[in-house]
Amino acid sequence: MLAWWDALPSILKVLYCVAIPSTLIFLLDTILMLFGLGDGAAANPSDTSGLDLDGHFDAGFDVDSGVDLPDVHDIHVDHADHDVGYDVQHPGDDSAGLKLFTLQGILIFLVLFSWISIAAISTGLNAFPAIVIGLLVGVAALYGTAKLFQFFRRMQENGALSIRNALGQTATVYIPIPPDKRRGGKVTLTIQGSFTELDAITEGTSSLPTGMAVTVIDIQGDTLVVEPME
Strands 194-202 and 223-228: what pairing?
parallel
Q: What radius of gyration, in Å, describes the C-alpha atoms of the chain? A: 27
DSSP letters spanning 150-187 = HHHHHHHHHHS--GGGGTT-EEEEEEPBPSTT-S-EEE
The pLDDT, as a whole number, for residue 202 is: 93
The pLDDT, as a whole number, for residue 191 is: 83
**Predicted confidence (pLDDT) at residue 160 exceeds the cutoff of 70:** no
Residues 165-193: tens digit of each pLDDT: 888 889 999 999 999 989 889 999 988 77
Confidence category of residue 158, pLDDT binned at 50, 70, 90: low
Confidence category of residue 84, pLDDT binned at 50, 70, 90: very low
**Predicted confidence (pLDDT) at residue 74 exceeds the cutoff of 70:** no
Residue among 163, 165, 171 at smallest CA distance from 223: 163
Least confident of 20-24, 115-119, 142-146, 204-208: 142-146
**Predicted confidence (pLDDT) at residue 52 exceeds the cutoff of 60:** no
HEC secondary structure over 177-229: ECCCCCCCEEEEEEECCEEEEEEEEECCCCCECCCCEEEEEEEECCEEEEEEC
Mean pLDDT score, 191-202: 86
**Predicted confidence (pLDDT) at residue 76 exceeds the cutoff of 70:** no
Confidence category of residue 8, pLDDT binned at 50, 70, 90: confident
The pLDDT, as a whole number, for residue 97 is: 58
pTM above 0.85, yes or no: no
Percentage of the chain lying above the pLDDT 90 cut: 30
Better pLDDT: 12 or 85: 12
**Predicted confidence (pLDDT) at residue 26 exceeds the cutoff of 60:** yes
The pLDDT, as a whole number, for residue 103 is: 81
